C-alpha cells in the first residue's frame, strides 16, 4: 500500500468519529490490517500525519484529529 493510501484510510476512520480517540489497536481493527508489516506502515503513516498537524497523540497514547 502506498504512503498516502494508508494516511487516507486513517483519516477516513478518524473523521467518521471525530469526537473519539483511537488506540493503535482500535485503528488496526478499524482499517482491517493484517500482519506486522502493515501495522508498522500504519504507525509510520500516523507519524507523518502528526508531523503534518493532522492528528495528535494524547498523553494516553491515543490518536485523534487536531
DSSP 61: S
- Please determine, for residue 56, whether its predicted confidence score (pLDDT) is greater than 80: yes
Domain ranges of the chain: 3-65
Only one residue has cell 500504519, namely: 42
Q: How far apart are the first and last CA of the chain?
A: 25
Tell me the C-alpha distance between 62 and 57, whole Å: 6
- Name the architecture of domain 3-65: Orthogonal Bundle (1.10)
* 56, 50 Cβ separation under 8 angstroms: yes
> pTM to 2 decimals?
0.90
**Average pLDDT of the segment spanning 19-28:** 94
Question: Sorting pLDDT into bands at 50, 70 and 90, what band is 59?
Answer: confident
Tell me the C-alpha distance between 65 and 33, whole Å: 20
Percentage of the chain lying above the pLDDT 70 cut: 98
Tell me the C-alpha distance between 35 and 14, whole Å: 21
pLDDT for position 3: 74
Amino acid at each position: 500500500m502506498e504512503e498516502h493510501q494508508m494516511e487516507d484510510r486513517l483519516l477516513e476512520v478518524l473523521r467518521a468519529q471525530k469526537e473519539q480517540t483511537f488506540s493503535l489497536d482500535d485503528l488496526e481493527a478499524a482499517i482491517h490490517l493484517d500482519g506486522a508489516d502493515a501495522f508498522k506502515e500504519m504507525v509510520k503513516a500516523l507519524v507523518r500525519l502528526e508531523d503534518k498537524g493532522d492528528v495528535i497523540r494524547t498523553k494516553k497514547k491515543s490518536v485523534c484529529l487536531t
